[in-house]
Amino acid sequence: MKTADAWRLSAIPYSEMAFRSILQNSSNMWWGSFGRGSSEASGREDLVKRALRIARFDKLVVTVFVMVAAAAPFLPQVLGASYGISASVTLSLAVSFALIVLYGVQTLSSFVTSGPSPVLSTLPLMREDVSLVNLLSFVRTSDYLVVGSVACQIFFVSLVTGSALSGLFMLLAGAVNSVMGVGAALWLSSVFYRNLLGSKQGKRGGVLRLGLLLAWGVVVLGIGILFAGAGYLIPLVQNVLASPDALTGSILSLVYPFSLGIGVGSTAQGFALTSVERLALGGTVVYLLIAVAVSRWGMSSVASFSEGVSGATGGARNRDTSVPLHEPVTAYALKDLRAASSNLTSAFLFTLPAFETLVILLIRAFLPTLGASTILVAMTLGGMVSLVLPLVLVTTEGTGFDFAKTMPLRMKTIVFSKALISTAVFLPAAAVVYIEGLLKPLASPFSIVIPLASILAVAAASMLEIRLFLGFAPRGRATFALQEFARMAAGAGVVLLPATIYVVIYILTFNHALAAGTMAAAASAELLAIAGFVHRS
């Protein structure tokens, strides 16, 4: 089969994969017959079209972000910096590699667990053709990202160096980087979804899963820090590469993606190459060969994925069928935690509020005292981030939500259980503030009330958001995203109101005690009102 034909054919399994992925995460989110004003999705055709639209929109947004990230490291040279481009190319490659991996891992779950299209294997096609179509449908998950980031890199390298050879070399480096990124995403998806989730669950599996999630969180944060610190990193790395200390330069020239970065940089310097640059070019050849091997491995892996994951029921020695019992709210919360932790994206979100608050406090670490404004900003930001969780908790229900709908459950049980998780996730953020308060003097002793009031506000906002998500089906032509945004905005309003009241009262009276007291009263009133509303559901 010709590659062009295979590419055209691959659009079908790709659409199916995108549809399955969206369907798994966003269907049946409302509580159906329990919710007032509920209705079912308006036909399968609409559902398919909507799923594909969401997938395309999602990919476009991520592509724009990746292009910006790939272009940003070239900003110093565009603005007239006189140093070489090796460090900029390296950073651009590192960031685009990491983003391709992140996006790939998050979108490949259905691909890895059940293959893009088992139907293809039943058609009279050569095994190699099926593999090629599957591989290309997999490539389609990252095509915009890869083309966008590589095009950006070629454009800026050509612009800065004015050399066609450098642009050509950048094309090669970008292609190698993309193959490596897609390959890494495939490998990570395979490890997480096939070996970890596909194996029997026990305490060891739980610890392994937690370890992997935390490692994943560190990687995500690392990328953020790398990106945020680009302005300092680029000249620093460029100096190291240009320094007479050949040893550091030689070592770096063999490390990925420095080899490629230095390689591209060397083409702009003419033909008089330094020893470091010669080493980097040698390293580039090695990584090119590795990329070829990775693409071959990817093709064979994708072919094997189309066979799906078999029922891993090998543990015939298990004789224990005991089933523990809990209160309904606890049981629902436990179920949510288990379901959410099986997905890298949703699991990492649990740690976000704490990280967020920590980052804010670290930024303010040089301040001698902990002011009310610092605590207010930290808590409000942490609270706003934690409001993503209700949406995550509702979407992780997926198609399994129909199982819950057959249970004798009241909506309030579900709302309280999910709000319990959202609020519990916010608690570390408040704890960080209290610990900070122990370590340095508070500008006002009453500002210690702020975290407590924020916890109440987050609990109230979570309940409201979840109630809105479950109680009303999406209607009309507005997109899911827009309606989800409106519901989250309602939650954000609940978090912002007590903080706003604090600010207004303080500006009017300059009295921290009164401001903190009013804030706590407002948050309590919100919690009582919304809990009452949910209780009547």
Partner 1 sequence: MVDQLIEARGLTKTYGSFGALDGLSLAVMPGEIYGLLGPNGAGKTTTLRITAGLIEPTTGSVAVSGFDATKDPVQAKAQIGYVAEIPILYESLTPRELLEFEASVRGLAKDPMNRRARQLAEAFEVVSAFDTPIATLSMGTKQKVAIIAALLHQPPVLLLDEPLNSLDARSSRILKELLSLHVQRGGAVLFSTHVMEIAQRLCSRIGIIFRGKIVAEGDLDQLRARAGEKDATLEEVFMKLTNEATEVESTVRALRESFFDDEDR
Interacting residues with partner 1 (CB under 8 A)? 32-34, 38, 40, 42-43, 113, 197-202, 309-328, 330-332, 334-335, 338-339, 342-343, 398-400, 402-410, 413
Q: 501: how many CB neighbours lie within 10 A of its CB?
A: 18
Q: At closest approach, how far in Å is the CB of 210 from partner 1?
A: 15
Query: Alpha-carbon distance 417 to 409, whole Å?
Result: 12
The answer to whether 150 touches 178, Cβ cutoff 8 Å, is: yes
Nearer to partner 1, 68 or 337 (CB): 337
Taking the least distance from each CB to partner 1, the nearer of 247 and 316 is: 316
Concatenating the DSSP letter of every residue in 181-194 gives HHHHHHHHHIIIII
User: Is 194 or 278 the residue whose CB approaches partner 1 more closely?
Assistant: 194
Of 374, 519, 372, 388, nearest to 452 by C-alpha is 519
Are 374 and 361 spatial neighbours (Cβ–Cβ below 8 Å)? yes
Minimum CB distance to partner 1 smaller for 74 or for 192: 192
Tokens of 513: 């005690």
**Least gap, CB of 354 to partner 1 (angstroms):** 24
- Torsions phi, psi of 211, nearest 5? -60, -45
Give the nearest distance from C-beta 313 to partner 1 in angstroms. 4
What is the phi/psi pair of residue 170, to 5°?
-65, -35
Q: Is 410 left (phi over 0), alpha (psi -120 to 50) or beta?
A: beta
Min dist CB 163 to partner 1, Å, is 51
d(CA 29, CA 257): 42
Nearer to partner 1, 145 or 420 (CB): 420
Closest to 91 (Cα-Cα) out of 82, 99, 81: 99
Distance in Å, CB of 386 to partner 1, minimum: 22
Tell me the closest approach of the beta carbon of residue 533 to partner 1, in angstroms. Answer: 19
Helix/strand/coil (H/E/C) assignment for every residue in 193-234: HHHHCCCCCCHHHHHHHHHHHHHHHHHHHHHHHHHHCHHHHH
In the complex, least distance from residue 193 CB atom to partner 1, rounded to whole angstroms: 9
Residue 366 has which token pair?
Answer: 């040089």
Q: Which is nearer to partner 1, 38 or 269 (CB)?
A: 38
Written as one string, the DSSP assignment of 270-302 is -S---HHHHHHHHHHHHHHHHHHHHHHHHHHHH
Give Cα separations from 410 to 125, 416, 537 (angstroms): 51, 10, 7
- 302 vs 340, which CB is nearer to partner 1? 340
**Residue carrying structure tokens 């930290």:** 378
Q: Say if residues 465 and 488 touch (Cβ distance below 8 Å).
A: yes
CB of 353 to partner 1, least distance (A): 23
| Helices and strands in the chain: count of H runs, count of E runs | 24, 0
59 or 209: CB nearest partner 1: 209
Tokens 């308060």 belong to residue: 437
Q: Which is nearer to partner 1, 105 or 145 (CB)?
A: 105
The Cα 155–Cα 258 span in angstroms is 20
Q: Of 68 and 309, which has the nearer Cβ to partner 1?
A: 309
Judged by beta carbon, residue 197 or residue 452, the one nearer partner 1 is: 197
- Kindly report whether the peptide bond that precedes residue 257 is cis, defined as omega within 30 degrees of 0: yes
DSSP 8-state secondary structure symbol assigned to residue 142: T
Angle of helix 258-267 relative to helix 246-254, nearest 10 degrees? 110
Query: Minimal distance in Å, beta carbon 192 to partner 1?
Result: 12
| Terminal-residue alpha carbon distance, the chain | 58
- With respect to partner 1, which residue has the nearer C-beta, 128 or 307? 307
Smallest distance from partner 1 to CB 134, Å: 20
Q: How far is the CB of 329 from partner 1 (least distance, A)?
A: 9
State the alpha helices, DSSP H only, in 440-479.
449-471
